[in-house]
Chains A and B, each alone.
Chain A
Amino acid sequence: MKRYLQEFLKGIIKENPTFVLALGLCPTLAVSVTVINGIGMGLAATFVLLGSNVIISLIKNIIPDRIRIPCFIVVIATFVTINELVMKAYSPVLDRALGIYVPLIVVNCIVLGRAEAYAQKQSVLNSLFDGLGMGVGFTLALILISAIREFLGAGTILGHNLIKGFEPVFVLGMPSGALLLIGLLLGFFNVLKNRRA
Chain B
Amino acid sequence: MSNKLIVSTSPHLHKKESVSKIMWLVVVSLIPAGVAGVFIFGLRALWVILLGVISALITEAALELFTKRKVTLLDGSAVLTGLLLAYNLPPNVPFWLPIVGSFFAIAIGKQVFGGLGQNIFNPALVGRVFLMASWPKYMTSFTRALNYDAITSATPLALLKEGRVLENISYLDLFLGKRGGCIGEVCILALFLGALFLLFKGYISWHIPVTYVFTTGIMTYIFGQKGLFSGDWLFHILSGGLILGAFFMATDYVTSPLTRKGQFIFAVGCGLLTAIIRLWGGYPEGVSYAILMMNGATPIIDRFTKSRIYGTK
A residues apposed to B, CB below 8 Å: 167-172, 174, 176-177, 180, 184, 187
Partner of B136, one of A170, A176, A187: A170
Q: Which residues of B contact A169 (CB under 8 A)?
A: 134-135
> What is the distance, in angstroms, from A6's C-beta to the closest C-beta of chain B?
34
B108 within 8 A of A: yes
B197 within 8 A of A: no
Q: Once the chains are docked, how many angstroms separate the CA of A177 from the CA of B133?
A: 9
Q: B263-303 interface mask toward A, CB cutoff 8 Å, 1 = contact, 0 = none?
A: 00000000000000000000000000000000000000000
Q: Once the chains are docked, how many angstroms separate the CA of A171 from the CA of B133?
A: 5
What is the total number of residues of chain B having a CB less than 8 Å from a CB of chain A? 7
- Nearest B residue to A152, CB-CB: B134
Q: Would A180 and B108 count as touching, CB distance under 8 A?
A: yes
Q: Would B133 and A176 count as touching, CB distance under 8 A?
A: yes
Chain B interface main SS type = helix
Q: Would B135 and A170 count as touching, CB distance under 8 A?
A: yes
What would 15 more interface pairs be, CB under 8 Å, given A172-B134, A174-B133, A180-B108?
A167-B135, A168-B134, A169-B134, A169-B135, A170-B133, A170-B134, A170-B135, A170-B136, A171-B130, A171-B133, A171-B134, A176-B133, A177-B133, A184-B112, A187-B112
- Nearest A residue to B131, CB-CB: A171
> What is the distance, in angstroms, from A172's C-beta to the closest C-beta of chain B?
8
Q: Which residues of A contact B134 (CB under 8 A)?
A: 168-172
15 sampled A-B residue pairs with Cβ under 8 A: A167-B135, A168-B134, A169-B134, A169-B135, A170-B134, A170-B135, A170-B136, A171-B130, A171-B133, A171-B134, A172-B134, A174-B133, A176-B133, A177-B133, A184-B112
> What is the distance, in angstroms, from A13's C-beta to the closest C-beta of chain B?
24
Q: Which residues of B contact A187 (CB under 8 A)?
A: 112
> What is the distance, in angstroms, from A51's C-beta to the closest C-beta of chain B?
40
Q: B77-111 interface mask toward A, CB cutoff 8 Å, 1 = contact, 0 = none?
A: 00000000000000000000000000000001000
Q: Once the chains are docked, how many angstroms separate the CA of A168 from the CA of B134?
A: 8
Q: Once the chains are docked, how many angstroms separate the CA of A177 from the CA of B136?
A: 15
> What is the distance, in angstroms, from B68's C-beta to the closest C-beta of chain A?
13
- Nearest B residue to A174, CB-CB: B133
Q: Which residues of B contact A171 (CB under 8 A)?
A: 130, 133-134
> What is the distance, in angstroms, from B89's C-beta to the closest C-beta of chain A?
15
> What is the distance, in angstroms, from A168's C-beta to the closest C-beta of chain B?
8
Q: Which residues of A contact B112 (CB under 8 A)?
A: 184, 187
> What is the distance, in angstroms, from A175's C-beta to the closest C-beta of chain B?
11
Q: Which residues of B contact A176 (CB under 8 A)?
A: 133
- Nearest B residue to A153, CB-CB: B134
> What is the distance, in angstroms, from A179's C-beta to the closest C-beta of chain B?
12
The 4 closest A-B pairs by CB, nearest first: A171-B133, A171-B134, A169-B134, A170-B134
The CB with the most chain A CB atoms within 10 A, among B112, B133, B134, is that of B134
